[in-house]
Amino acid sequence: MASKIDELDQKLISILQKDCQINTKILAGMLNISQTPLRKRLKKLKKAGYLNYYVTIDKSKFPNAIAANIGILLNDHRESTINLFEQEISGIDSVTHIQRVS
């Protein structure tokens, strides 16, 4: 964590600790900055190791949305195994989106 963080970064982190699903437009307004500098700060903080992962949901478009991010490590990395896993998970009614990250 070589990057130094300023008071605005500290406020940003504090807000995300309370609500990591906050909409970026609302978050930018709370910090009195536009969304472009906000995204740059988020990227900087993630690169420096202050943020691991965060989620934003536009509650005005999806008022009942709940995000759950689950990381799963598979010992078998064959495409067929990954496809089978995704197929099984997509059969769960409450799962609406699967994103593969490697």
16-20, 72-76, 98-102: range with lowest mean pLDDT: 98-102
Question: pTM score, two decimals?
Answer: 0.52
73-82 long-range contacts (CB < 8 A, ≥24 apart) are: none
Res 29: pLDDT: 95
Q: What is the pLDDT confidence band of residue 23, given thresholds at 50, 70 and 90?
A: confident
Higher-confidence position of 53 and 1: 53
- Helix pair 24-31, 7-18: axis angle to 10 deg: 140
